[in-house]
Amino acid sequence: MDTKGDREMDSNKVIKVAMLGAGTVGGGVYKLLKMRQDEMYDKIGESLELKKILVKSIPETRKDVDPALLTEDFEDIINDEEVQIVIEVMGGIEPARTFILRAMNAGKSVVSANKDLIAVHGKELLDTAEQNHVDFLFEASCAGGIPIIRPLKQCLCGNHITEVMGIVNGTTNYILTKMEKEGMEFEEALANAKELGYAEADPTADIEGLDAGRKMAIMSSIAFHSRVTFGDVYTEGITKITSSDIRHAKAMDCTIKLLGIARDTEKGIEVRVHPTLIPTNHPLASVNDVFNAVFVHGDAVDDTMFYGRGAGEMPTASAIVGDVIDVARNIHCNCLARIGCTCYKNLPIKKMADIESKYFLRLLVKDYAGVLGNIATILGNHSVSFEKLIQTPVTDDVAEIVAITDIVSEDDFKQAMDELRGKSFIEEVSSIIRVYA
């Protein structure tokens, strides 16, 4: 254990770390660094010490954190030349962005879990890291504890990756699981998630698909080697999904998940987050509760999947501490900035109107002879045909049509539905949900 090539192995050598933030994730990182303290020398070749933690208010900071480490002043950290690694777990765009940029400009490497920031300002952050020859690592930003960035950037980097698809938001997956398994409606399942701490007081970012959209932007950039920002991602949440939709999906051997789907196609990159019907025998269909999973398709490796906890204090800390150890190894080996930005292509983003999908459709229609023919004709004129269709009477006058279409462009399907909505024999368009194809 005492030689590592010609590198110095000196147990007195210590790499010093500072942390910005001591909330839920920060508390987890603090705990985990303490738990592994004695093994750091074996893992890195040097010891690791958490020297300072920036908090908003020292008196209001969680009591399990050593008060001697706390500061309310970022200048204490930026001016401390001993600090070589800064962990950013404060969240939000500002002041996180400014602090990270200042830290890197001062020659410090940064580990961040901040998806909101990276999904928008990723290029600026990675460029600044490169200019300063430091590391900027962010494994925790994408799927909590699940290793996905390093597998994409290293293990699978011999592949041309054409698809990244995932359940990357635990809150919505918990809600949909409750709706499916216990027949709850959305509002009840959301209330249940809030009680258990799985949903925040303002759950917008989760239930509207924004959180998942940010993660998809980051993963797509890495998988396809071309910058994708949050603004490029189409997002649609789960608030309109009903337990009745889920029951009807089940009758079609499908389940409904909030999926992030990213593809590298001939017409450009498509990235979108929306409720999606997937076959019950697809590996993602059995990913339930707060668990996340990311499915990756590469031309050599074929299908792979990465599964685990996408959020939570300790799983997120696992990813952050993994990154910190990696930076520390780079410091020890004098090879910071070993793998930086991997966006060496500049691919266009496909318009949402151009994406192609199957659609799940529920309609209430007037139940008289020829209606189904009329509907099929109108849809057919817009290239919409059916893979499956079930018609059942609801009352003497009204029937329900539940159908899955063949693959059609978003644009054609929208035009077809617009025309259909104006017809007198359509009582209600109950649901339109995309189907994985």
DSSP states of 97-143: HHHHHHHHHTT-EEEE--HHHHHHHHHHHHHHHHHTT--EE-THHHH
Closest CB to a copy of itself among residues 79, 154 = 154
Residue in 34, 43, 421, 423 binding a copy of itself, rule: CB under 8 A: 43
| Cβ neighbour number for residue 255 with a 10 Å cutoff | 22
Please list every residue from 138 through 177 that binds a copy of itself, using CB under 8 A: 139, 145-147, 150-151, 154-160
How far apart (Å, rounded) are the C-alpha atoms in residues 387 and 383? 13
Stretch of 87-95, 104-112, 269-277, 318-326 lying at the interface with a copy of itself (CB under 8 A): 318-326
Binding mask 195-234 for a copy of itself (x = CB under 8 A): ------------------------------x---------
Cα dihedral value 188, 194, 200, 206, nearest 10: -40
- Residue 7 CB contacts under 8 Å (≥ 6 apart), including other chains: 45, 332, 333
Would strands 356-366 and 408-409 be described as parallel, antiparallel, or unpaired?
Answer: antiparallel
Q: Check binding of 351 to a copy of itself (CB under 8 A).
A: no
Residues touching a copy of itself, count (CB under 8 A): 66
**Taking CB under 8 A as the rule, does residue 23 contact a copy of itself?**
no
Q: Which of residues 111-140 bind a copy of itself (CB under 8 A)?
A: 130, 133, 139
291-298/161-167 β-pairing: antiparallel
What are the DSSP calls for 145-211, one per residue? Answer: TS--HHIIIIITTTS-EEEEEEE--HHHHHHHHHHHHH---HHHHHHHHHHTTSS-SS-HHHHTTHH
Return the closest-CA partner of residue 115 out of 43, 175, 31, 25.
25
Smallest Cα–Cα separation from 309: which of 146, 421, 178? 146
Least separation in angstroms between residue 294's CB and a copy of itself is 10
Cβ of residue 299: shortest distance to a copy of itself, in angstroms? 8
Helix (H, G, I), strand (E, B) or coil at 393: strand
| 299 makes contact with a copy of itself (CB under 8 A) | yes
Q: Which listed residue (9, 106, 120, 339) binds a copy of itself by CB under 8 A?
A: 339
Q: What's the min distance (Å) between Cβ of 284 and a copy of itself?
A: 11
Catalytic residue, candidates 215, 257, 350, 358? 215
Give the nearer residue to a copy of itself in terms of CB position, either 130 or 163. 130
- The contacts of residue 293 (CB under 8 Å, 6+ apart) are 146, 166, 167, 283, 284, 287, 305, 306, 307, 308
Q: Which is nearer to a copy of itself, 425 or 436 (CB)?
A: 436
345 in active site: no
Which residue number, 20 or 156, has a Cβ lying nearer to a copy of itself? 156
What's the token pair of residue 10? 């000196």
Distance separating alpha carbons of residues 421 and 405, to the nearest angstrom: 17
* Residue count (the chain): 437
Residues 384-423 that bind a copy of itself (CB under 8 A): none
- We find the least distance from the C-beta atom of residue 142 to a copy of itself, in angstroms, to be 11
The distance of closest approach from Cβ of residue 227 to a copy of itself in the complex, given in angstroms and rounded to an integer, is 13
Question: Which of 27, 91, 166, 308 is the binder for a copy of itself (CB under 8 A)?
Answer: 308
Q: Report the residue from 239, 306, 356, 391 that binds a copy of itself according to the rule CB under 8 A.
A: 306
Of the residues 324, 365, 408, 426, which one makes contact with a copy of itself according to CB under 8 A:
324
6 vs 94, beta carbon nearer a copy of itself: 6
Q: Is the peptide bond before 393 cis (omega within 30 degrees of 0)?
A: no
The residue ranges that bind a copy of itself (CB under 8 A) are 1, 3-6, 28, 32, 35-36, 39, 42-43, 130, 133, 139, 145-147, 150-151, 154-160, 225, 283, 286, 298-309, 312, 314-315, 317-322, 324-326, 329-330, 333-340, 342, 344
Residues with catalytic annotation? 215
